[in-house]
Amino acid sequence: MRAVLLNSLGLFVIILIGYLTKRLNLLTKADGSLISKIVVNVTLPAAIIVNLQSLVIKNQLLLLILAGVFLNLVMIIIGHWFSKRQEQVEREFLMYSVSGYNIGNFAIPFVQSFMPQAIPILSFFDIGNSIMLAGDQM
């Protein structure tokens, strides 16, 4: 229990530091863009590569890719159902907005601090998630 609380406290302190740097105007918007590029292009891929190095791929893990695609489709259908009375543009926006899981920015850092052995499994789900979120841009 103590390890969980310490990990949670560490994540909270990181969030607090980010909030304070914004509040005290220590960083500009340009700095935020640079930090975002570093996180997306260096930190997250490095975390995934390090955690995938000892993974033995089993057929069951490939099902997680299908689960990522399927659960995004479910969310798109729910968005379609809730937006029946909206105009076409608003409907499309809602359907796109409700799909997708914020795995890279939220789940990976959180899970890595508690259960690093789960990162490879989460990464397979994120493959299906990524296909649904950026599939039309590939």
> Domain range for residue 20?
2-137
Mean per-residue pLDDT, 43-64 = 79
- 34 versus 7: the higher-pLDDT residue is 34
User: Considering only CA atoms, which of 58, 52, 53 is closest in space to residue 119?
Assistant: 52
Mean per-residue pLDDT, 50-73 = 83
Residue 8: HSE in the Cβ half-sphere, 13 Å Cα cutoff: 5
Whole-structure pTM value: 0.61
Which residues are CB-neighbours of 64 under 8 A, at least 6 positions away? 121, 124, 125, 127, 128
In the chain, the number of structural domains is 1
| Environment class of 51 (CB within 10 Å of its CB; exposed 0-12, middle 13-18, buried 19+) | buried
Q: Which two tokens stand for residue 74?
A: 């479910």
pLDDT of residue 74: 92
Number of residues that make up the chain: 138
